């Protein structure tokens, strides 16, 4: 074997020892501990490309996949490894060096044509991404407009079924100023499913509590709707039937944008002390128990995700007791989102708290799964911590939320 052939063979051997992780880094991808999921560096998209470092393997839903760094780099650079020239060019790219003398190389024209194809593919990908973003923005604006319409078309809740509902759920007659945000719809349509022609269906319409999601500037970004039925204790919600999986249909729905926003319930945002939790009823029950403090702004977030924010994937952990069957029927621990916030999250990924707040009280939900809730509350505390701010997390009795616990305690008090 000639010296040139030996040099090329050694060159190929070194390229084959380059790991998928090293090739991905050379291609400009930022890997997590587990790998990568996101846009493809070659054909774009949003989440079509993935790298699993445990296997290790890479995959693009728009093309192919593989288990070596050479193949990954060839995909990124649009090189054909079935061709000797394409294979050696991919080897050179993962090593970051030139092909040895005697090895097949692209001609200048071939390289220019390949780079133009790659640039054109990326241009098409960017155009598609821009269109998706425009469509998403249009959809969000339509949703926000519909949400504002639902809220502003609802009526005054003072003296209504909503006022009675809140009294029954919290144990208190809430202050009239609550009804500046919380409104009443006497016959709110409940939309679920489609008919045979693909049109939305409203199988129910009835009394509902309607509240806005607002950003820190007070702009309405969405709305929260709770259907109520005072005949159905203890939650006083209607029975809306079952969904396709046999689960009860939810009696609460949200329209428009909730992330980054909150539901104002009582008090002024200028207050230094804020108190909030997931549900309207929970927060107002605690507000009543502490005397509807004039120095406090009370708010709800709608759900735990908006309260806690997204988690750093690296902090996920296995539930100590809960298990779920995988595709092969093997029971495996349920994975829980961890207590560490996602490091690069945007300001509107979860509820925002004004910078001037010095005391923040967050209410946990005791009737939700404890481990998941505890991790989420820890994440919320970390995410919202600021210098000069005190954060307290309050927990209700196990198996209850604050609203039911407070009502039960008041019912047991001697007359």
User: pLDDT exceeding 70 applies to what percent of the chain?
Assistant: 98
Helix axes 69-77, 84-95, angle to 10 degrees: 100
Mode of pairing for the β-strands spanning 359-363 and 390-394: parallel
What are 295-306's pLDDT values in tens digits? 999 999 999 999
Closest CA to 253 of 208, 195, 305: 208
Tokens 């050379």 sit on residue: 26
Beta strands in 194-286 (DSSP E): 204-214, 220-227, 252-256, 263-266, 273-277
Q: What is the DSSP letter of 186?
A: E
Helix axes 161-170, 402-412, angle to 10 degrees: 80
> In the structure, what pLDDT confidence band is assigned to residue 348 with cuts at 50, 70 and 90?
confident
What are 9-66's pLDDT values in tens digits? 999 999 999 999 999 998 888 888 889 988 888 877 777 889 999 899 999 886 678 8
Phi, psi angle pair for 57, to nearest 5°: -165, 160
Beta strands in 29-151 (DSSP E): 35-40, 44-52, 57-60, 65-66
pLDDT score of 415 more than 60: no
Q: What angle do CA 160, 297, 236 make, to 5 degrees?
A: 35
Q: Is 392 helix (H, G, I), strand (E, B) or coil?
A: strand
Q: Is 180 helix (H, G, I), strand (E, B) or coil?
A: helix
pLDDT score of 403 more than 60: yes
Q: What number is the average pLDDT over the span 159-184?
A: 96
All domains of the chain in start order, with CATH: 3-106 (3.90.580), 258-415 (3.40.50)
> In the structure, what pLDDT confidence band is assigned to residue 414 with cuts at 50, 70 and 90?
low
User: pLDDT exceeding 90 applies to what percent of the chain?
Assistant: 68
Between 333 and 63, residue with greater pLDDT: 333
What are 374-384's pLDDT values in tens digits? 999 999 999 99
Can the peptide bond before residue 56 be classed as cis, meaning omega within 30 degrees of 0?
Answer: yes
What are 185-208's pLDDT values in tens digits? 999 999 998 888 889 999 999 999
pLDDT score of 103 more than 50: yes
Tokens (6 digits) for 104: 């097949």
Return mean pLDDT, the chain. 91
pLDDT of residue 386: 95
pLDDT of residue 110: 92
pLDDT of residue 62: 61
| Helix residue spans in 238-369 (DSSP H) | 280-289, 304-308
| Reported pTM | 0.76
Closest CA to 52 of 77, 71, 70, 33: 33
């Amino acid at each position: 074997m000639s010296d040139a052939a030996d040099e090329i063979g050694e060159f190929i051997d070194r390229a084959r020892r380059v790991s998928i992780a090293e090739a991905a880094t050379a291609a400009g991808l930022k890997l997590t501990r587990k790998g990568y999921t996101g846009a493809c560096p070659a054909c774009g998209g949003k989440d079509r490309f993935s790298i699993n470092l445990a296997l290790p393997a890479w995959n693009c839903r728009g093309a192919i996949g593989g288990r070596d760094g050479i193949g990954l780099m060839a995909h990124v650079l649009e090189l054909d490894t079935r061709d000797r020239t394409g294979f050696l060019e991919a080897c050179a790219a993962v090593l970051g060096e030139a092909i040895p003398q005697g090895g097949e190389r692209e001609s200048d024209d071939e390289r220019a044509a390949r780079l133009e194809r790659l640039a054109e593919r990326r241009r098409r990908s960017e155009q598609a991404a821009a269109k998706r973003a425009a469509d998403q923005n249009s959809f969000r604006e339509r949703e926000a407009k519909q949400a504002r319409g639902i809220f502003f078309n609802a009526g005054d809740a003072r003296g209504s079924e909503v006022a009675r509902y809140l009294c029954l759920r919290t144990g208190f007659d809430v202050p009239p100023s609550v009804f500046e945000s919380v409104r009443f719809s006497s016959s709110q349509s409940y939309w679920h499913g489609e008919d045979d022609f693909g049109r939305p269906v409203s199988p129910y319409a009835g009394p509902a509590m309607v509240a806005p999601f607002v950003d820190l500037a007070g702009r309405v970004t969405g709305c929260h709707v709770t259907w109520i039925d005072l005949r159905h204790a203890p939650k006083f919600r209607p029975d809306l039937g079952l969904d396709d999986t046999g689960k009860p249909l939810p009696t609460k729905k949200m329209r428009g944008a909730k992330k980054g926003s909150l539901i104002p319930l009582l008090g002024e945002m200028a207050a230094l002390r804020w108190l909030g939790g997931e549900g309207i009823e929970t927060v107002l029950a605690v507000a009543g128990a502490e005397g509807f403090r004039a120095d406090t702004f009370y708010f709800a977030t709608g759900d735990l995700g908006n309260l806690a924010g997204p988690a750093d994937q690296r902090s996920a952990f296995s539930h100590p007791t809960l298990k779920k069957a995988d595709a092969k029927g093997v029971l495996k621990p349920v994975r829980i989102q961890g207590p560490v916030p996602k490091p690069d999250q945007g300001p509107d990924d979860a509820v925002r708290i004004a910078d001037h707040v010095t005391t923040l009280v967050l209410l946990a939900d005791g009737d939700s799964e404890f481990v998941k809730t505890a991790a989420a509350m820890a994440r919320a505390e970390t995410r919202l911590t600021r210098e000069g701010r005190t954060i307290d997390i309050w927990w209700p009795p196990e198996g209850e939320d604050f609203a039911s616990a407070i009502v039960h305690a008041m019912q047991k008090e001697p007359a």
